[in-house]
Amino acid sequence: MDMRVFDLFKIGVGPSSSHTVGPMIAARRFLQECPDLQNAQQVQVALYGSLALTGLGHATDKAVLLGLMGETPQDVVPDTVDQKLEDLARSGVMLLLGEVEVDFDILNDVLWHKQEVLPGHPNGLRFTLTRKDDSTYSNTYYSTGGGFIYSEAELAHNANSASVANATVVALPYPFATMAELLAHGKRTGLSLAALLRANELCHCSEEELDAGLDKIWSVMNQCIQRGLKITGELPGGLHVQRRAAKLWLTANESHNSLPHDGMHKVSLYAMAVNEENAAGGRVVTAPTNGAAGIIPAIIQYYSQDCHPSDPVKGIREFLLVAAAVGMLCKKNASISGAEIGCQGEVGVACAMAAAGLTAALGGSNEQIESAAEIGIEHHLGMTCDPIGGLVQIPCIERNGMGAVKAITAASLALKSDGTHHVSLDQVIETMRVTGYDMQAKYKETSLGGLAIHVVTVNHAAC
């Protein structure tokens, strides 16, 4: 496995890892790779397939513009985005990578090809730069989910052979391409899955750097929960969706008539708080995507607050390592892109990752961890991606709350068993892949089917 934990968990901004984070990275990378950038006269970007169909709702155009300006998902300040874009629209002048001035017309230099899908992936975008001598440089990129970006050449060679562009392949002590291989390492060495992943990560960084990185990931996740539980108001995009997590959280904590299921209610609110922040373009962590970013933070919060761990810091680090292993397997052997295999690859995978991480943090065996992850995916098989208006709001926000509850259920079932089960994680990942490719395109992040058209039709009929 040539992916790292920090390839899977990326700090970025909402509302989408594939439609916002990835295109921003691609735009910046295109200019960084462009020869003779100093003589640039014009740059254009063409969006294809799902990026074109749901790009407005997912802020793809805004992300591309920010990337061309030189911004990165992890460093851009969400509160400054609107002003930067307003300045560009007013002046018609863009500073490429913050340095090279060109004229830029948002209406004519961002092209939307809604009827055309590039051959490599449903999320394709092509950049073309024209220099002052009329020579051009062009390249095509694919955003394959979770903020992963591949050029056309990289994807043609083997997209799964590198987690990031120009990645250096390192010989790992415990290489794995399947859960079966990872479990075999555990049986041979007696090590937990978390220990195996830690050993692999230490080929890339020191123990201190690894722990600091894991702690930072959780810190950003936790900050996102806390913001989401405080902010009210209407989400952007025109659906007039109101934030609910903060008001429901206040009500939940004021209630004097608690019921047994109230704990699950709070877990759902943790997840919804994150995804409301994501829908508003706030700072989130891809886990493994932005559309499913609320599930893992919600379950870590549940673990640290309600499970009363003796060493929460150690437990959270093990949680993230094990969750990442499951995400890597899904990314490599199937997909985490809603545009490729539907929401089973986003919320379904996030549920599996969270279930596995929680099981590990609570002391489950390697076999119980695999069982929890398998249950998490199995009960999301066939889930479509049909966001209303192309916005990551309905059904995405509530879907994260439901996925978080399923993750706890999956972990509970696994922990109360001896780890034996009929369907392996590898088998259910392959099933998810095949199911996704059998799914009609209109149910895969195009907003051409499902809720995306039926709710809108009903609303229009009522007007």
Q: Give the domain extent around 226.
A: 179-462
Pairing of strands 283-285, 123-131: unpaired
What is the number of structural domains in the chain?
A: 2
Interior CA angle at 412 toward 409 and 416, to 5°? 145
Q: Is residue 167 part of a domain?
A: no
Residue 331: inside a domain: yes
Cα 132 to Cα 42: distance, rounded to the nearest angstrom = 8
Q: pLDDT value at position 428?
A: 98
Identify whether residues 213 and 294 lie together within a single domain.
Answer: yes
Please indicate, yes or no, whether residues 370 and 338 belong to a single structural domain of this protein: yes
Can you give the pLDDT at residue 168?
A: 57
CATH code (residue 136): 3.30.1330.90
State the Cα–Cα distance between residues 140 and 120, nearest whole angstrom. Answer: 10
Say if 64 falls within a structural domain: yes
Reduced to 3 states, what is the DSSP secondary structure of residue 283?
strand
197, 324 in Cβ contact below 8 A? yes
DSSP string covering 101-130:
EEE--HHHHEEEETT---SS-SEEEEEEEE
- Looking at the structure, do residues 254 and 223 belong to the same domain, yes or no? yes
The answer as to whether 369 is a domain residue is yes
The radius of gyration of the chain's CA atoms, rounded to the nearest angstrom, is 22
User: Could you report the average pLDDT of every consecutive run of 10 residues in the chain (463 residues)?
Assistant: 91 95 97 96 97 95 97 94 95 96 96 96 97 97 95 79 52 96 98 98 97 98 98 95 96 76 90 98 96 98 96 98 98 96 98 98 98 98 96 97 98 95 96 97 95 71 36
Tell me how far apart the alpha carbons of residues 2 and 161 are, in angstroms, rounded to a whole number.
Answer: 7
Which residues are within 8 A (CB) of 163 and not within 5 positions of it... i.e. 6 or more apart? 2, 3, 4, 7, 148
* Predicted pLDDT of residue 462: 36
Using N-to-C axis directions, what is the helix angle for 396-415 and 295-306, rounded to 10°? 50
Q: Map tokens 């994150």 to a residue.
A: 274
- pTM of the full predicted structure? 0.93
How many whole angstroms separate alpha carbon 264 and alpha carbon 274?
A: 16
pLDDT score of 165: 45
Strands (E), 194-352: 283-285
So what's the pLDDT on residue 463? 33
Task: Judge if 274 and 418 occupy the same domain.
Answer: yes
44 and 144 part of one domain: yes
Which tokens belong to 385?
Answer: 């991606």
Q: Do both 119 and 203 map to the same domain?
A: no
Torsional sign, CA 448, 449, 455, 458: positive
